[in-house]
Structure 1
Amino acid sequence: MSYEPRKAAQLIAYLIIKAGGNSLKVLKAVKLVYLVDRESIQHFGFPVLDEKRCSMPHGPVNSLTYGYIAGDYDPEECGWSDYLRDRENHNVALARQDITPDELDELSDADIACADAVWERFGHMTQWQLRDWTHDPRNVPEWEDPNGGSTIIPLQRILHAVGVANADDFADTAASFKLIDQAFESARVH
């Protein structure tokens, strides 16, 4: 697997729909995406989104997804803007008010189940409550204070933190899949 910005946008769109509105605070959206990945890792051994996760001053973050929200990448070329529009007033919003869960074809039933579980548990929290919750080592022990910077959170650390049996084997399998994907991608380019 490789990072799929369209899938990330659909995941955020799904969370916005769950919120019953047209937008979410950026910080809340970023925290929920991280927690959905964490939920998937706990139950299936793999995240919903294939990307690096980092410890940042406001807690753990999916780095590429955060970059798309922050406007670091072109949202037009990857399908991101089909579901989400530019952030304003610290919100990320649906591209259209009539987006329905049926349109979110990149998300599997397992992805939706993880998003639903996270929303059920954390959807009522404000962005600041989520930030504080993810800073507590009893809740998210894989996050480490980066002292104003950013440090990578290895998948293996998350696997251990959520109690996955054979975490080292899962991490090795995930690394093998990434190498296979890179080989196929390289073959397509040549």
Structure 2
Amino acid sequence: MFNEKKVAQMAAYLLHKRGGAMAFLKLMKLLYLSDRKSMELYGEPISGDYYCSMDKGPVLSNTYSIISFGGDDENGWSKWISAPRNYNVSLRHQIDNVFELEDLSRADIKAMDEVYAEYGHWNRFELCEQTHKICPEWQDPNGSSIPIRMKDIFMAIGYSDEDAEEMVSSIQEKSQLEILTADLR
């Protein structure tokens, strides 16, 4: 289940690692790769977002809309991240301790740390090109967008067809349970 607050905290963590600001194109790639890495390490994504292929590579669909048009959750994107300016986003306030990012687990942070260690030094254009090569689930949409199925990501990172189906089914069940229990809160 998509969680704007959690995605905002993912973005805040990556921006914090980068010194507080970065190109939003680069941030989008790092967020996607973080979800992908979490799926590889732990069998589930961090964000709960939907994925799509766009001309500049794979993106988190809802997150892309939030970066472009703003979010709805007052404790979400706008609490942590500035509106894009000159194709860059930045932290709204300094993070003194990662425990401020209460929606992120240690596993989430580990996945993002691994992604940042591998790709954080690349510029946005290099990273964009690289995601076209290392993410076989991405398809050139020729100026449009194409949904990326979670199953295709699992298969691209080495799961069999059957195992990928099971992983997606498990994630969907967990998401449905989160929706039901959210109504009880």
TM-score calculated relative to the size of structure 1: 0.89
User: Residue 102 of structure 1: CA displacement?
Assistant: 2.5
- Distance in 1, matches of 2:159 and 2:40, equals 6
Corresponding residue number in structure 2 for 1:64: 62
User: Residue 10 of structure 1: CA displacement?
Assistant: 0.9
Corresponding residue number in structure 2 for 1:149: 144
- Distance in 1, matches of 2:11 and 2:60, equals 12
Indicate whether 1:162 and 2:157 are aligned: yes
Q: CA RMSD in A?
A: 1.8
Contact 1:83–1:99 at 8 Å: present in 2 too? no
Distance 1:98 1:176, change over 3 A: closer
Deviation readout 1:43-66 (Å, 9 max, x if unpaired)? 111100101000001000001111
Percent identical residues: 36
Q: 1:119 aligns with which of 112, 116, 120?
A: 116
Corresponding residue number in structure 1 for 2:6: 7
Corresponding residue number in structure 1 for 2:93: 96
- Distance in 2, matches of 1:144 and 1:134, equals 11
- Distance in 2, matches of 1:22 and 1:143, equals 29
Aligned length: 183
Q: Which residue identity does 2:154 align to in structure 1?
A: L
Q: Which residue identity does 1:155 align to in structure 2?
A: M
Q: Which residue identity does 1:22 align to in structure 2?
A: G
Deviation readout 1:146-178 (Å, 9 max, x if unpaired)? 111111101100000001352221112122223
- Distance in 2, matches of 1:3 and 1:176, equals 14
TM-score calculated relative to the size of structure 2: 0.91
Q: Which residue identity does 1:6 align to in structure 2?
A: K
